[in-house]
Structures are given as structure tokens and as C-alpha cells.
Structure 1
Amino acid sequence: MAYKEAPQNSESADSFYNMFLEVTKQDNVALVAYKGASMAIKAKYAGTIKEKKNDFIEGVSYLEFAIEKEPNAIEPRFIRLGIQENSPKILKYKDNIDEDKLFLLIQYKNIPSTNLKTHIKDYILQSTVFTEEEKLSISNQ
């Protein structure tokens, strides 16, 4: 999946970003969340510190908008967790990690898409914010 590859290098980040250029806040919340993620990831490769910060903040605004619009949608919460777990501490975007982690653990069994379920499972198993017990509970589902 492009989301998983995007942070690896600037070409992948650009490619992922370009996939969501046409997405607006009127679109499906998952698409809006991915657009926000693409902006936040692309920010990593911006020229100056100021550009990095501004681009990241703009991306996060899309992500937060998607979650505000549909707080029970799984994909935006999953995306936010990934962005928060991997964002530099200096950006101070870490406040919802425990909330989103718990949300995913509770909702995991209800994810209808096999693809999304596999993607989330893979993420959880490599994540540093989930305990071994939590990883094991997901592995057994």
C-alpha cells in the first residue's frame, strides 16, 4: 500500500501526495485523512524547517477534520495513530496515541475490509506503542 511506502523517501512521499491532490474536505473521511497524512509525510522532505512545520500542520488539519466529522471511522483513527507515533517530538503531535490505540483494539474485530484489517494488523505488530499482550490479542483474531 502506498501509505506504508510513503515515508521511505521523497519520491514515495511525492507519489502518495499526488494521489490525493484532488481530494477536498467534502470527500469520504478516509480520503480526507489520507490526504492529510500525505501532506504530513511530504512535509518531512520540505526545504526549510518553517516549510516542514507549516506543511505538517496543514496536513494534520485535514486529518483532524476527518476525525471530527466521523469520530467512529476506523481509517482516520488508524492514520492519525501512525502519524502521531512517527512524528518528531518537537511537533508536539502525540496527544491521541492512547485514545486511538484503544479505539483500534476495540474496533479491530468489526473492520469489514480484509485489506484494511491486514494493514492495521501489520502496523500494530510492528508498532512500539502496543504492548506484547495487545499484539498477541490482535494476532489471535
Structure 2
Amino acid sequence: MKLLLLFLVMGNWIHKDAPELSTLRKLYYRAAVESAASVSLSKELKSVQLDAEPILVCYKGAAYMMEAKYAFNPISKLSRFSKGKNAIEHAIAREPSNMEMRFIRFSIQTNLPGFLGYHTNISSDKQKLLAGVGNLKDKTLKDNITAYLIASKKCTSEEIKKLQQ
């Protein structure tokens, strides 16, 4: 009985360290336009390691990307970009069918300058998102993906019509 109680207490303690997905989503969207949100996103994900849940690793990669966006030093920008790219790719390799992670990568790749060379998944991620967005149970995530796809200028008029239905 004591052992069971110990596991329950430890399980709750470990779970409390993991950031809330809803918080990460809000910070991610705000971080695109607000450096303070980027700092907050990074703080939320500070303890996340590469062996954590893939979605958390992916958001950590996105946080590195946001840090790169707001960094002044070019060497620091490139270092953070590389860390972010590696974390995102690691997460997606572990869970390739995760729509939210595909959305994160798509939204990052569609906003990066071409000279960075991180744009090769735009088409495949877009197709994955178009095929699966209608099946998402999370209404907020579904609405965010749909709105972003429409605004991204990466969809054809036919694809936009389907998204708007």
C-alpha cells in the first residue's frame, strides 16, 4: 500500500512539471509577433528533453526557432535555428502522424527565409493537414490550422473552398 501511494505521489509530481498544451499553444501563437511570449514559451519548456513526449519536444523546437527570430547575434540566431530544426524533426520522426506537430513545422517553414533551406516539407505537411484537419476532435486546434492554411497563401482556391465548408 505504501509503495502504491509513493507511485501516485511521484506520478503527480512528475506530471506537474510538464507544461500544459493549451498554454504552449497560446504562447506559440503569440510568440510569432511578441518577443515576451517567446521568452515565456522557452521558460515553460526549459526542462523538456529530447526523450519527452514528442509534442513537447516539437514545441521546444518551435521555441528555439522563436528565440532565433528575436536574437540579435547572427551566430546565436543560427545556433538556435539549428537546435529548433533538430528538435522538430526528432519529434516528427517519433510521431509522424501527429497533426499538431505537422502544423507547427508547416507554420515555421512557411515563414522562414528561403536561404535557410528549411522548406522541403511544406507541400507534404500541407497535404497531411488538408487530409486530416476535418477529423480533428480539438475544435480550437482545428480552427487554428484551418485559419492558418487559408491565410498561408500555400493553398489553391479549391483547397480553400474545401477548408471553408
TM-score grouping bracket, smaller chain normalisation: over 0.9
- Contact preservation (8 Å) 2:59, 2:88: yes
Alignment of 1:1-80 (within 5 A): 1-80=26-105
In 2, Cα distance between equivalents of 1:65 and 1:92: 17
Counterpart of 1:77 in 2: which secondary structure? helix
Opposite residue 58 of structure 1, the aligned amino acid is K
- Contact preservation (8 Å) 2:61, 2:85: yes
Encode CA deviations 1:34-69: one digit per residue, 9 max, x unaligned.
Answer: 110011111111121111011101011110001100
Q: Give 2:5's aligned residue.
A: none
Structure 1 runs, 4 residues or longer, greater than 3 Å off: none
Matched, 1:136 2:161: yes
Q: Any stretches of 5+ residues in structure 1 without a counterpart?
A: none
- Contact preservation (8 Å) 2:28, 2:37: no
Report the structure number with the largest CA radius of gyration. 2
- Contact preservation (8 Å) 1:53, 1:91: no
CA displacement at 1:28 relative to structure 2: 1.8
Cα RMSD after superposing both structures: 1.2
In 1, Cα distance between equivalents of 2:147 and 2:42: 22
Higher alpha-carbon deviation: 82-91 or 110-119: 110-119
Encode CA deviations 1:66-108: one digit per residue, 9 max, x unaligned.
Answer: 1100111111111000110001112111000000000001111
**Percent identical residues:** 35
Given candidates 75, 92, 95, the residue that maps to 2:117 is: 92
Q: Give 1:107's aligned residue.
A: 132
In 2, Cα distance between equivalents of 1:24 and 1:54: 17
Opposite residue 65 of structure 2, the aligned amino acid is A
| TM-score where L is the length of structure 2 | 0.80
Aligned length: 140
Relative contact order: is structure 1 or structure 2 higher (C-alpha 8 Å, sep ≥ 6)? 1
